[in-house]
Amino acid sequence: MTAPTPAPDRRRILSGIQPTADSFHLGNYLGAVSRWVPMQDSADAFYMIADLHAITVEQDPAVLRHRTRVAAAQLLAVGLDPAKCTLFVQSQVPEHAELAWILGCLTGFGEAGRMTQFKDKSSKVGAERASVGLFTYPVLQAADILLYRANAVPVGEDQRQHLELTRVLAQRFNARYGPTLTVPEPEMVKGIAKIFDLQNPTAKMSKSADSQAGVIDLLEDPKSLRKKVRSAVTDSGHEVAIDPENKPGVTNLLVIYSALTGRSMEDIAAQYGDSGYGGLKVDLAEVVVEWATPIQERTRAYLEDPAALDSVLAAGARRAREVAAATMADVRERTGFLVGTSLMGTA
Ligand code: ATP
Ligand code: LTN
């Protein structure tokens, strides 16, 4: 397999997703991974399966290994092309953990404690059961980004605070040790659709929702997909219209319909008009099944040959390590560690 050869003037981007579910859901797809596909043509793109982040909460090793492969298979199935981008698994690049340690030593305790994702997640499990890894999660995320000297990080609004910390840590490192790390631009991907739960259309679709009845999984069987879409909670009245305030359920269905077909929401709303919600739901169910089916088939095909899948990931890790190792060589030297091949073994 040929490694992607980036043009020297192409900007570098990095993004990641955790392998923490048996399938991506529609929110992950529309809000994150589907956006990655066109960017592999316009940027030198690094896409990472964040398995180190996945162990910040309780986990099962066999499940993690399986989910890591399922995540990779889905990413390839939705259109990531290893000839165009670098797709890799975080733990296969040991430099992530090493840089995270160094950055952790530059992070204030209070600074880390102000991260809202940590506050949310630790309050769910309780302070005693929340791990130090969960606390330093954003520092590891900063390492992910800074190792590759990424210029931009395409993520949704929910990651803004982590990106801001990344910028602060890069600036702090550079101020203390000399210019070394690239400060990434806080590029929130505009218009990233926030997809809401089909049963509770004011809450975001999430794998950690109490009930999965309103969560559409990419790898779900067609019968269940149809049932979930057809039984989506809609609003009072019967007119199909774009109205996030008063008709959040119907509007969410229009957002999904539009995103999966490329048709405008206005056009779809006009088609169904006052013929009631039923027709919209029946048709959207078919749109969802048609979207999921080919991706499921490709995902299954990748999973049938784990050795081939692993070798795609190994090639991605080799390419990622080349870049990461170069950054770490600079970082080690700047930080004041003894450097030189005789001391570093064969790495
Ligand atoms: P949790 O809610 O348990 O934290 P999640 O289901 O939101 O998990 P993440 O792994 O946190 O999934 O998110 C992966 C990516 O998918 C992130 O970039 C996030 O912005 C995006 N994403 C998640 N849910 C949605 C959603 N409902 N709409 C749009 N984007 C989403
Ligand atoms: N925290 C991110 C996943 C993630 C990431 C990254 C995203 C880990 N490392 C580096 C962008 C860049 C999430 O939960 N969406």
Q: Per-residue confidence of the chain (347 residues) as pLDDT tens digits?
A: 555 655 556 899 999 999 999 999 999 999 899 999 999 999 999 999 999 999 999 999 999 999 999 999 999 999 999 999 999 999 999 999 999 999 999 999 999 999 999 999 999 889 889 999 999 999 999 999 999 999 999 888 889 999 999 999 999 999 999 999 999 987 766 666 789 999 999 999 999 899 999 999 999 999 999 999 999 999 888 899 999 999 999 999 999 999 999 999 999 999 999 888 999 999 999 999 999 999 999 999 999 999 999 999 999 999 999 999 999 999 999 999 998 765 555 55
Question: In the chain, how long is the greatest CA-to-CA distance?
Answer: 76
Q: Give residue 31 CA to ligand 1 midpoint distance, Å.
A: 7
Q: What are phi and psi of 196, to 5 degrees?
A: -100, 160
Q: What CA–CA distance (Å, rounded) separates 337 from 4? A: 32
Sort 73 into a burial class: Cβ within 10 Å, 0-12 / 13-18 / 19+.
buried
Q: Is 223 a catalytic residue?
A: no
Pocket of ligand 2, candidates 48, 51, 158: which has the most ligand atoms within 8 Å of its Cβ, to mutate?
48
Q: Give residue 266 CA to ligand 2 midpoint distance, Å.
A: 33
- Using left for φ > 0, alpha for ψ between -120 and 50, and beta otherwise, residue 133 falls in alpha
> Which DSSP state fits 159?
G
- With both helix axes pointing from N to C terminus, report the angle between 277-303 and 222-230 in degrees, rounded to the nearest 10: 150
- With both helix axes pointing from N to C terminus, report the angle between 248-261 and 265-272 in degrees, rounded to the nearest 10: 120
Q: How many CB atoms lie within 10 A of CB 8?
A: 6
User: Which among 2, 85, 7 is positioned nearest to 49, based on CA atoms?
Assistant: 85
State which H helix or E strand residue 13 sits in.
Answer: strand 12-17
Sorted by sequence, the CB contacts under 8 Å of residue 241 that are 6+ apart come out as: 247, 250, 269
* Contact status, residue 242 vs residue 251, Cβ threshold 8 Å: yes
Q: Whose CA is nearest to atom 7 of ligand 1?
A: 206
Around 270, how many Cα atoms within 13 Å sit in the side-chain half-sphere? 5
Q: Is 190 a catalytic residue?
A: no
Q: Give residue 16 CA to ligand 2 midpoint distance, Å.
A: 5
Ligand nearest to the CA of 89: 2
pLDDT of residue 155: 86
Q: pTM of this prediction?
A: 0.94
Q: Give residue 53 CA to ligand 2 midpoint distance, Å.
A: 8
Q: Residues near ligand 2 with C-beta < 6 Å?
A: 14-18, 50, 53, 141, 144-145, 153, 155, 159
* Contact status, residue 73 vs residue 58, Cβ threshold 8 Å: no
State whether the beta carbon of 155 lies less than 6 angstroms from ligand 1: yes
Given 119, 121, 190, 227, which residue is catalytic?
121
- B/e letters for 261-296, b = 16+ CB within 10 Å, e = fewer, are eeeebeebbeebeeeebeebbebbbebbbebbeebb
pLDDT of residue 341: 60
pLDDT of residue 191: 64
Residue pointed to by tokens 């940027």: 43
Q: Is 121 a catalytic residue?
A: yes
Q: Whose CA is nearest to atom 13 of ligand 2?
A: 17
State whether the beta carbon of 208 lies less than 6 angstroms from ligand 1: yes
* Contact status, residue 37 vs residue 74, Cβ threshold 8 Å: no
User: Which among 258, 264, 263, 257 is positioned nearest to 285, based on CA atoms?
Assistant: 257
User: Which among 329, 324, 331 is positioned nearest to 340, based on CA atoms?
Assistant: 329
Sort 335 into a burial class: Cβ within 10 Å, 0-12 / 13-18 / 19+.
middle
pLDDT of residue 9: 65
Any alpha helices (H) in the chain, and if so which ranges?
26-28, 34-42, 51-54, 61-77, 95-104, 109-113, 116-125, 132-135, 137-147, 160-177, 222-230, 248-261, 265-272, 277-303, 306-335, 341-344
Ligand nearest to the CA of 90: 2
Given 84, 190, 204, 227, which residue is catalytic?
204
